[in-house]
Amino acid sequence: MSGIPKYLLIANDLKAKIENGIYSSGSFLPPETELQNFYEVSRPTIRQAIARLKDLNMIRVLHGKGTQVHNRHYEQYVGEVRSFTDSIKLQDAVPGTKVLSTANVRAEQFILDEFHLPPGSELYRIERLRYANEFVVSYHTSYLRPEHRIDAEKLEQTLSLYDYLQSQYHLRISFSDESIMATSAGKEIASMIGVKENASILYVVRTAFSADNEMIEYSFSYIRSDLFKYRIRVYQSE
């Protein structure tokens, strides 16, 4: 053990305490000075240990507040038409939405094809970050028909785009088709969702429909696979 750097020993000890619930998800680690005194090391060594936990996506440093613990995965069953917001709420966590941009855009033809619209048509695009307990979990881009514009502030208050569409336009999502793929985070996406460039993440494409088969939303999402996972329930055939 003597050959292992002190910062790594400290990081491993803190990691074990997080995994064993001594420091629960959402709580804060002791201040650096307390950790220095407890482990009898210098501040740079403590900061190296904290950096190691940050690389493991187990904590985040909030300037002026401290080092917050995060050791939790959120999940959603494949086959359920459920919004991200409802999925997070059902797991006793606090969902959040930040609208990055809204605009009418000339969408790419493969998206227009999903809406059965001719070339050159416009769609309404919404870009959002989604949160669970203030941690960024994913980046979403949704395309709607141009008449289904949203108020960014109201959407952030409502949290769920599907709830917003139902309350404002009486549109209800009845079913969706989804493709879930593994990919790596490009520089821009990595920066937005808080992972390292080229980190493994999930890429999800969804087409959502009303009960009468009307296309309501086309979306794609980049999701942190270290924080969110999909589950599949399989039944044995008779």
Query: Would you state the structure tokens that stand for residue 17, as one six-digit string?
Result: 């305490």
Which structural domain range is residue 171 located in? 74-231
- The pLDDT tens digits for 173-190 are 999 999 999 999 999 999
Strands 122-132 and 135-144, bridge-based pairing: antiparallel
- The pLDDT tens digits for 196-223 are 889 899 999 999 999 899 999 999 999 9
- Domain membership flag for residue 194: yes
Q: What is the DSSP string of 41-83?
A: --HHHHHHHHHHHHHTTSEEEETTTEEEE----EEEETT----
- Domain membership flag for residue 148: yes
For residue 213, report the phi and psi dihedrals to the nearest 5 degrees.
75, 20
Please tell me the distance from the alpha carbon of residue 20 to that of residue 134, in angstroms, as a whole number.
Answer: 22
Tell me, yes or no, if the pTM score tops 0.85.
no
In a shared domain, residues 31 and 114? no
**Residue that terminates a domain, selected from 69, 96, 118:** 69
In a shared domain, residues 79 and 60? no
In a shared domain, residues 222 and 172? yes
- Specify the pLDDT at position 56: 76
Tell me how crowded residue 140 is: count the other CB atoms within 10 A of its CB. Answer: 21
In a shared domain, residues 225 and 118? yes
- Domain membership flag for residue 147: yes
Q: Is the pLDDT of residue 96 over 80?
A: yes
- Domain membership flag for residue 58: yes
Give the confidence band of 10 by pLDDT, cuts at 50, 70, 90: very high
Q: Is the pLDDT of residue 1 over 50?
A: no
Q: How many domains does the chain have?
A: 2
**Residue that terminates a domain, selected from 40, 69, 98:** 69
Tell me how crowded residue 23 is: count the other CB atoms within 10 A of its CB. Answer: 21
How far the first Cα of the chain sits from its last, in Å, is 56
Q: Is the pLDDT of residue 150 over 60?
A: yes
- Domain membership flag for residue 237: no
